């Protein structure tokens, strides 16, 4: 038997006492300050409103995204701020209308334009909280090194810097625009140039899964902006010819598989209940490509227009234990609301500069208690042209005089080549009741002068702050876009 002297026993007792207190204190701190939630943001390219099983597609099967919806919520009135690549992505990542950022359209390679480095992205607001951040996919907010995602808060980047059709092998526009080789980037280094793209969705997915596994013990923000289903369409052999909806359906099936792989990685690593997953698209379908494009039915028109088919996109959100399963949320929301919502659920500080979005965590977490946050939504296109405003409750949408492209009911071909658009015009303002007329067929402008008057107040607010090139109005709150010396 070992005998302790009185001093030795006292020392050991004190050490054990302080150790126990320390453990209890650590446990209390952990319970009071749990690990903040992870955020996974999956952003497809040119996917139409109807192009998911859970959004009514008659021939595209998306079992993993459908299951994600059954375990979370479908947002059926979810909008992008502009119906085109660069502008839409800038709003998603910054919480601002693209026009506020000086951004419009889709930037071609090496033009020296993109998101200003002083703007704060979701990645940048999360970095002070210790989040690991990564983007695997299409950036399209500047292709020069000074404008790449590694300069906007992302620890890791793997993907292409702009759209996959800005590529010399595109069957229609590659030679027409004299595009350079399509670079595949690892952070800021070109590691390959792509002569074909069949593995690109798989590569993004593999990177995403590895990132989740590597960062399972601390918070992370994972951004997966897929290159597909933007034309030209590419799909790996494991999904080629497997869909009832042709090659477009094959491509969506592979994206659905990718979502399934990400969800499985979260589950395997015990992260399910501490991860908000958002799936949505950057704008509506590029309809002139016929069977190589998606569908926005029952909405009007598609990509490149402010009609519902161009700016209303499918959205699914999942966060087990927080978002009640099986919900359909029909209140409006927009990509500008994603950043402030992420800040609210993680405790991150909002950007120092003015943003346009609002925290909609109550919409997804407590929809029965939701109160309208926006008075209106503004829809710009092209070079800062104000095309439409929509009431904050999502019911009324007023279109201002502007030109727009349309196929006027024609259907594109099967060969992946586009048919030309007709150039239509809204000559006098038009008003639509989206609750009664989701397809925007009946102009009720004359019947509701009081609604028009209220929405025209929003038009004036938009024009005074962000401007309107259609009326030569210059906004007072537009910030500079990022510009660097062009590589051309």
Nearest CA among 158, 152, 154, 119 for reference residue 133: 154
Identify the active-site residue in 96, 116, 140, 343: 140
- 387 part of the active site: no
Report d(CA 128, CA 190) in Å as an integer. Answer: 29
Report d(CA 54, CA 67) in Å as an integer. Answer: 9
Identify the active-site residue in 3, 21, 54, 85: 85
What DSSP string describes 355-405? -S----HHHHH-GGG-----SEEEEEETTTEEEEEEETTS-EEEEPSEEEE
Residue 17 in tokens: 């006492």
Q: How many CA atoms lie within 13 A of 396 on its CB side?
A: 20
Nearest CA among 173, 228, 178, 232 for reference residue 204: 228
b/e 109-147 (16+ beta carbons within 10 angstroms → b): bbbbbbbbeebbbbbbbbbeeebbbbbbbbbbbbbbeeb
Report d(CA 32, CA 24) in Å as an integer. Answer: 12
Q: What share of the chain is helix, strand, coil (3-state, %, to 5)?
A: 30, 20, 50
Report d(CA 430, CA 401) in Å as an integer. Answer: 8
Report d(CA 328, CA 126) in Å as an integer. Answer: 29
Contact 275, 37 (CB under 8 A): yes
Burial of 182 (0-12, 13-18, 19+ CB in 10 A): buried
- 343 part of the active site: no
Report d(CA 205, CA 253) in Å as an integer. Answer: 13
Annotated catalytic residues are 85, 140
């Amino acid at each position: 038997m070992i005998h302790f002297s009185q001093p030795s026993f006292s020392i050991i007792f004190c050490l054990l006492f302080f150790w126990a207190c320390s453990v209890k204190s650590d446990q209390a701190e952990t319970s009071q300050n749990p690990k903040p939630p992870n955020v996974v943001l999956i952003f497809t390219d040119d996917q139409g409103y109807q192009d998911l099983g859970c959004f009514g597609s008659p021939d595209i099967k998306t079992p993993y995204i459908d299951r994600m919806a059954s375990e979370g919520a479908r947002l059926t009135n979810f909008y992008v701020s502009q119906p085109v690549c660069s502008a839409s992505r800038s709003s998603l990542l910054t919480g601002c209308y693209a026009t506020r950022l000086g951004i419009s359209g889709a930037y071609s390679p090496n033009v020296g334009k993109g998101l200003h480095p002083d703007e704060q992205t979701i990645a940048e607001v999360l970095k002070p909280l210790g989040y690991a951040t990564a983007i695997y996919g299409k950036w399209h907010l500047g292709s020069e090194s000074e404008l790449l995602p590694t300069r906007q808060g992302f620890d890791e980047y793997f993907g292409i810097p702009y759209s996959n059709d800005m590529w010399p092998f595109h069957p229609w526009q590659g030679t027409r625009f004299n595009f350079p080789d399509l670079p595949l980037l690892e952070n800021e280094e070109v590691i390959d140039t792509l002569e074909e793209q069949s593995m690109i969705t798989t590569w993004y997915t593999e990177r995403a899964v590895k990132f989740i596994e590597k960062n399972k013990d601390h918070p992370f923000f994972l951004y997966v902006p897929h290159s597909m289903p933007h034309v030209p369409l590419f799909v790996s052999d494991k999904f080629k010819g497997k869909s009832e909806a042709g090659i477009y359906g094959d491509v969506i099936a592979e994206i659905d598989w990718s979502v399934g792989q990400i969800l499985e990685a979260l589950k395997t690593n015990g992260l399910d209940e501490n991860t908000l997953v958002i799936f949505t698209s950057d704008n509506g379908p590029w309809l002139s490509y016929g069977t190589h494009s998606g569908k926005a039915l029952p909405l009007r028109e598609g990509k490149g227009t402010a009609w519902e088919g161009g700016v209303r996109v499918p959205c699914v959100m999942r966060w087990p234990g927080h978002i009640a399963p099986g919900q359909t949320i029909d209140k409006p929301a927009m990509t500008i609301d994603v950043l402030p919502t992420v800040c609210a659920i993680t405790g991150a500080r909002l950007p120092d500069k003015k943003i346009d979005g609002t925290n909609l965590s109550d919409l997804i977490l407590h929809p029965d208690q939701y109160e309208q946050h926006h008075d209106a939504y503004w829809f710009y296109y092209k070079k800062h042209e104000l095309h439409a405003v929509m009431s904050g409750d999502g019911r009324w949408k007023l279109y201002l005089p502007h030109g727009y492209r349309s196929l006027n009911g024609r259907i594109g071909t099967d060969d992946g080549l586009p048919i030309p658009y007709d150039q239509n015009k809204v000559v006098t303002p038009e008003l639509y009741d989206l609750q009664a007329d989701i397809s925007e067929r009946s102009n009720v402008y004359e019947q509701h002068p009081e609604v028009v008057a209220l929405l025209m107040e929003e038009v004036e607010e938009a024009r005074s702050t962000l401007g309107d090139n259609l009326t030569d109005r210059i906004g007072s709150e537009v910030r500079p876009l990022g510009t660097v010396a062009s590589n051309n």
